[in-house]
A and B are shown apart, each in its own frame.
Chain A
């Protein structure tokens, strides 16, 4: 019997807040660091994977078209933007963003209608999106082809009095091609079927990992780590330059 009690494990929420704090992205200057997901593929699968990423981005299923490719031996690592970057930028604008959880969102005729499954960040040490990709609950490709399907998304809350600031910051971000708001709820009202706390508003963002889910659904072998680190935008390029 061991006598040590070991330190408690770190849950997703703490990991995310640590990264949010370190975001230094300035959308006006296009400088600083954003939060990225990473995908590792075999070198010969790099081009087909980037092509699927690009198609998924064209369907509005990503946060930003910026990517960074790094070769490591016979494999390549692709960094793509994570939606928590948006929380980070809002945080730096003085909005206390609270990431709540990740989930699967049902899309009908290109309209996101509801979360069908949710995993709260406080409750898990594995990123919810990584969990959900492995449960085969998504139909990202079908959504791209027919407008109906299931995609990955996440949910955050903010105080309702920050609404104007949020809208302003989102506009600046959109001009820098950082998008992905699926729904911004009215204060106190459900967002895609999930309730929010009193005097707060909920925002559902498209998961940056949808592009990875699209590739996985098409049989690509990808090792993925979502919300894994920070990347400087100056090292990233528009995906159109790469495909």
Chain B
């Protein structure tokens, strides 16, 4: 806890070093750390980096591995997730923006990289899941019918599928935000929420959390609270599903509608409702001069499996995947 006594600026620098080490896929030395810090706007020479690393070693956050490389300790990982809460409020928005910059999916182009959620499940539970997923897709509570299944040992993003497990990769609704951005529309992902389904129709949001106002991932919050009732919505027509909202300028609404239609014909849908200008979208606030687009959350598939008693570990917005390699179920 000695890190806490550091002045804010030096604390920030130390945390940035921890982030650089964490982002590297193998032990990383002072020279490479110094270079990467410079890319991120922190001008620290190799010598100063070395000094800071010694400090971090003493605090127990890093340790040497092999010849001059450093890795994070358990304590270091913990510190990374606990320190500088002010910097972490709204972190999901930052991650969303990174991903919508990187995705290039657009039915009008050759771009095929979509943003995906990754759900890990036990191999023995695999039988029956496809049947289950099919029903959720049929009901329209996901983004795309296409999924990818990865076997143990395979990797996606920073996730390696552990032995005995499978990874189910599903399309994330943020893919659509990326497509809107590529068409020049400034898109702002605002809220995640729970939406009520009555007689097979999505009627109104019952709870909302803004991405910009929390250090926790709102979608994960809703998944952990187990408020959704996806299977009930599928079976009886009455239940709750997870959804999210994005704002776009009123001037872009026609272009956005055309883009959504195009995506739909390529198998990426999930649209719940485009609001009237400046009006709330099913209870979710929309700024004046904007239009709110509500989409189903891609994680509804994983939520439905959990509801059926299948243990699933889901990482929303976890990687990019090649849409042409995903198959329809």
Which of A's residues lie within 8 Å of B, judged by CB?
A: 1-2, 5-9, 11, 101, 103, 106, 108, 113-120, 122-126, 131, 134-136, 190, 193-195
Contact = CB atoms under 8 A, between A and B. Distances in A.
A124 B1 contact: no
B252 interface: no
B243 to A, nearest CB: 13
Nearest to B221: A131
B85 A117 contact: yes
Contacts of B284: 8-9
Interface stretch (B134-142, B146-154, B158-166, B208-216): B208-216
Given A8-B283, A9-B284, 5 more contacts: A118-B89, A123-B210, A124-B213, A131-B209, A190-B86
Contacts of B205: 9
Interface string B215-243: 11000010011000000000000000000
- Chain A contact residues: over half helix, strand or loop, or mixed? mixed
B1 A195 contact: no
Given A117-B216, A134-B224, A6 B280 contact: yes
Nearest to B204: A6
Contacts of B210: 120, 122-124
Nearest to A131: B221
A187 B6 CA distance: 20
Nearest to A119: B214
Interface residues of B, number: 38
B32 interface: no
A116 B82 contact: yes
B281 interface: yes
Given A115-B85, A116-B82, A5 B209 contact: no
A52 B203 CA distance: 42
Given A123-B210, A124-B208, A195 B86 contact: yes
B130 interface: no
B4 interface: yes
23 contacts: A2-B201, A5-B275, A5-B276, A6-B282, A7-B283, A8-B283, A8-B284, A9-B205, A9-B206, A9-B207, A117-B88, A117-B214, A120-B89, A122-B210, A123-B214, A124-B213, A125-B208, A126-B225, A131-B216, A131-B225, A134-B225, A135-B221, A195-B86
Nearest to A137: B216
Contacts of A122: 210, 213
Interface of B: 1, 4, 8, 81-86, 88-89, 201, 203-210, 212-216, 221, 224-225, 273, 275-276, 279-285
Given A134-B224, A190-B86, A6 B283 contact: yes
Nearest to B216: A117
Given A6-B280, A7-B280, A117 B201 contact: no
Give 9 closest A-B pairs by Cβ, nearest first.
Answer: A123-B213, A123-B210, A120-B213, A5-B279, A116-B82, A8-B280, A119-B214, A115-B85, A6-B283
Contacts of B280: 5-8
A56 to B, nearest CB: 23
A101 B85 CA distance: 12
Nearest to B85: A115
Contacts of B1: 108, 113
Given A106-B82, A126-B209, A193-B84, A114 B215 contact: no
Interface centre among A6, A123, A134 (most CB of B within 10 A): A123
